[in-house]
Structure 1
């Protein structure tokens, strides 16, 4: 059935914004139509509105994409009855894709047609990378390509075609938003497929495997032996001491260290005196472990193997390096970093890690063809910028996983390489790509800082109106705390008067 005939049959109303409102018949009809050589629609049904969740009625399409033998990429498209004319792709986390309604909810509530994918495997576990290994010591190249980059791209191209078929017109704009693995997927889209999106939001991006090497060497430092591991009570002690030393640097004491890079507090300040022991001080081995966590780890050639942990992030170390569960006694760094890394490097999630050295790991990482297929660290994004693309990166400054320093490093490299490729100054890229750092925010969310912000509206305004965001309002759930997030290298500073909990009392400079 051609698009013109489909339009006459299935599009019966028009919204106030001028975009079509499709009905149930049009939704169900998607199951029966030829969807293209790679896409097979499994089900298509209307889902009723959910006022409590602020969700409109929408057509939910569950489909499969099989671009090559051995590949089976699951996708879910959610097409709102009152469409704003725009397409939104969403990213996943860890080893998992994202086909959840909760992941699509924000975009749906704003009228976007939202696309998600399981990245080629149905498991929703962020720590289970078993799908990547087809035999001991070997990573399946088909699954690698699907997970690494192919699934998001094909989700996007088939999703756009389905949107045009359903609504009778192509999308006016296309955006991608993701954090963590989703942040890396945004990097991949910008670098590999610059035609896919008009605007991309990449939060806390795991764009290379130094995120995982960092987790490995941080765990080594804090678990060198039983005497090196600090307790939760000692983490409170350290965090309080750090705040006492550095919290007021931005002009107000609020439990948020806005510039952790300028904070030089040394854990030796809490060293136990002779004859002293217990939770109110740190032993010599604990001082060394905490100091190494702040300093990071380098190979003998000076290459970063573990990014420094930011001062002010201490309360987030516990679940990653100290705490655990009976199934995962070593904490999240073991599950999310070490097993993840060993899967990619050696095709064996249980490859020995306790004695691994920075020289060995970084050498194997640089030599691995698997890593080259996975990482998204090409700094030249001139093709994306040249066609008018806008790129908004953001990162929590106290993220205990992917380091904001890694994102800063990439952002600076991308500005340099892209400006050279386009023969323009780096300052001219300011209205095309920006980085926002979120003080007091952990990995994608959480922490003492305000961690709720609407980057989707910011990128939409940027693309539609050409106005780059000079700040983004950040708030905190169940709190009256708010702050402006500022484009790097500026930061929010207290104006010297007004409510210290209000963003209106702060300026970016």
Structure 2
């Protein structure tokens, strides 16, 4: 039986990197491996915090290998699933969630299963298919108290990691050799939370576009959308989709005058900006202002003010300025900020109810952040939320000393989760360790040109981040260039460890990764 221990805020409760199997004492022989159908008996006591609801042998079907499918609960409300392939590679991979979770990430589990991993995922303690727990409603203290918030913040992932490894070690005759975390967005935050609080849970972490400063991430909605939606979301954006695309076209291709655009700054005109921070686009200078009669190829004073506000962020409360380059790209502003037709911008959809149920004590079920957010007071009313959801601690010394590794990545054209935040976290970690070189020993960061939130966009965002992580953890092969592809094409491009960037050789095929090398810009 496996009773679940209490979880403190950041102690050493995690399992070991080799699966938490533990050693048997004296000459006691190791327990016999349990068949899939017999796993439920291991947790059959009602006194245990873990209950296995089902354990089923699944035959090979279509593109999924034969495997054991285990479903269960922890503490009554945390649902989890574990898949264990018949042909096992000896490794465990836990996958993260997106948004506010509320469901098990079966698709990501299946991807890991196809590669031979035993794999697991959790709904983080609430069920999004139940209306009262969907979105951020699970955080309604009047109905659920604080337990579900803590589970979503950090507890559910940690407990699921412990339980999953126990199940895997009980099923196979050999113990887990290596354990990996793989997640983007909320899954990126979960990965950093694990690395900071429970680094023993995994040996390697693939962390993408992490929403690690959760409270600041929610504040990006009013910081950006208050400039655009003066009459509420239903009233439409001050900047129309056509003007949005005009701005994006100027950013990339120039204005026909003194500003040539930033697409070709890296020597290749390919619909990508290698590093937006070197783009000298100025909305006050490079986009024409309309005269009294207006026009389709210019901005009115109101449109210009809204645009400047979006780029600026809220430096008074550390909401970072948004880089240029995602204005008219797939997965950019057309999804997150200014949509076509009547679609609701994704930034609003994801953030709105967090202000009602997750950020403040007590909850504010009727709160409208577009009209009611008080910038002088509300950012300072989130201390409980910061302690629960934010994975901002840069002190990874215990992590590094234990030999753990992280590959982090973020798309440059991600307006949903500002890529500047990931650069900020990396800089904060460097401040703790004293130098970039010290951080490079255990953390690699990849800023991906043209990639939106976790994937998509005009860039080469199809990348296997776990394979180089595995080589680093198991063979000491330090990651360098990692090749990405563009879905639907034969085009490839190397992604370089920050601060290096891919430099074109000036002669080869621009769609071949071999035509580029990683170099640190001057």
Same fold at TM > 0.5: yes
For residues 63-82 of structure 1, the aligned pairs below 5 Å read 63-66=72-75, 72-82=77-87
- Cα deviation 1:113-156 (Å, max 9, x = unaligned): 001000001216997111111328xx731111111001110111
- Cα deviation 1:202-250 (Å, max 9, x = unaligned): 1000011211111221000112357961121222211111111100111
Which residue is equivalent to 2:250?
Answer: 241
1:39 and 2:39 correspond: no
- Cα deviation 1:35-90 (Å, max 9, x = unaligned): 78321110011222234x3x211111001111xxxx51000000011110001111
Measure how far apart 1:436 and its partner are.
0.6
84, 105, 112: which is aligned to 1:107? 112
Measure how far apart 1:97 and its partner are.
4.5
Which residue is equivalent to 1:283?
Answer: 300
Distance of aligned partners of 1:117 and 1:142 in 2 relative to their CA distance in 1, 3 Å threshold: same
Q: Which runs of 5+ in 2 are unaligned?
A: 2-27, 254-260
145, 150, 153: which is aligned to 1:148? 153
Secondary structure of 2:200's match? Answer: coil
Secondary structure of 2:65's match? Answer: coil
1:317 and 2:333 correspond: yes
Secondary structure of 2:503's match? Answer: strand
- Cα deviation 1:317-369 (Å, max 9, x = unaligned): 1332333887xx6422222123224422232354132242433232223xx22
28, 31, 35: which is aligned to 2:37? 28
Instruction: Give the count of matched residue pairs.
Output: 471
**TM-score, normalised to structure 2's length?**
0.85
**TM-score, normalised to structure 1's length?**
0.87
162, 165, 170: which is aligned to 1:165? 170
Which residue is equivalent to 1:381?
Answer: 396
Measure how far apart 1:100 and its partner are.
3.5
Which residue is equivalent to 1:222?
Answer: 228
* CA-atom RMSD in angstroms: 2.3
> Separation in 2 of the partners of 1:335 and 1:3?
55
> Separation in 1 of the partners of 2:39 and 2:204?
28
For residues 58-457 of structure 1, the aligned pairs below 5 Å read 58-66=67-75, 72-123=77-128, 128-135=135-142, 140-208=145-213, 209-224=215-230, 229-244=238-253, 245-268=261-284, 269-299=286-316, 303-305=317-319, 307-315=320-328, 316-323=332-339, 330-346=344-360, 347-355=363-371, 356-365=373-382, 368-417=383-432, 419=433, 425-457=435-467
Secondary structure of 2:352's match? Answer: helix
1:492 and 2:502 correspond: yes
Secondary structure of 2:32's match? Answer: helix
> Separation in 2 of the partners of 1:130 and 1:238?
37
Distance of aligned partners of 1:278 and 1:85 in 2 relative to their CA distance in 1, 3 Å threshold: same
Runs of 4+ residues deviating >4 angstroms: 1-5, 124-127, 225-228
> Separation in 1 of the partners of 2:230 and 2:154?
36
Cα pair 1:91 1:98 within 8 Å, conserved = no
Cα pair 2:204 2:469 within 8 Å, conserved = yes
Cα pair 2:352 2:368 within 8 Å, conserved = no
> Separation in 2 of the partners of 1:399 and 1:349?
29
Secondary structure of 1:211's match? Answer: helix
Distance of aligned partners of 1:259 and 1:97 in 2 relative to their CA distance in 1, 3 Å threshold: same
> Separation in 1 of the partners of 2:498 and 2:391?
21
> Separation in 2 of the partners of 1:101 and 1:318?
28
> Separation in 1 of the partners of 2:102 and 2:504?
40
Which stretch of the first structure deviates more once superposed, 290-299 or 94-103? 94-103
